[in-house]
Amino acid sequence: MVMVPEHVELVIEELILEGFPSEQRGGIRLAVERELGRLLLEHGLPQTLRQEADIGRLEVGMTGLDAGSGVDVIGARLARALYGGMGG
C-alpha cells in the first residue's frame, strides 16, 4: 500500500524547455503537472521527499523528443524523468 500524504506542495519555479516553440510551453507545463500528480498519487512520495525537502536544482536531459511529439507526450515523459530525478 502506498502512503500518500494529505497535502503535498510541489513548486517548480522554473521549467526551461529548450527547442520547443513558445506556443507549446503552456501545454507542456500542464501535462507535466498532470503526470506528476498521477505519479505522486499512484506511487507516493519518493523516499527523499518524505520530509520537508528543497531539491534546489534538478536537471533532466531527454532525447528522442521534438516539438512534433505533442505536448501531452512531452509533458508526461518530462514528468516521469523529474519524478525519477527526485528519487522515485
Confidence of residue 13 (pLDDT cuts 50, 70, 90): confident
The yes-or-no verdict on residue 74 having pLDDT over 80 is: yes
Query: What domain count does the chain have?
Result: 1
pTM of the shown model: 0.73
Structure confidence by residue, pLDDT tens digits, 24-45? 888 988 999 899 888 888 887 7
Q: What percent of the chain has pLDDT over 90?
A: 8
Residue in the block written with cell 505533442: 70
Q: Per the domain annotation, does 11 fall within a domain? A: no
User: Which structural domain range is residue 34 located in?
Assistant: 20-43+64-88
Confidence of residue 84 (pLDDT cuts 50, 70, 90): confident
Q: Per the domain annotation, does 49 fall within a domain? A: no
What is the spatial distance between Cα 48 and Cα 58, in angstroms, rounded to a whole number?
Answer: 13
Neighbours of 28 (CB within 10 A): 23
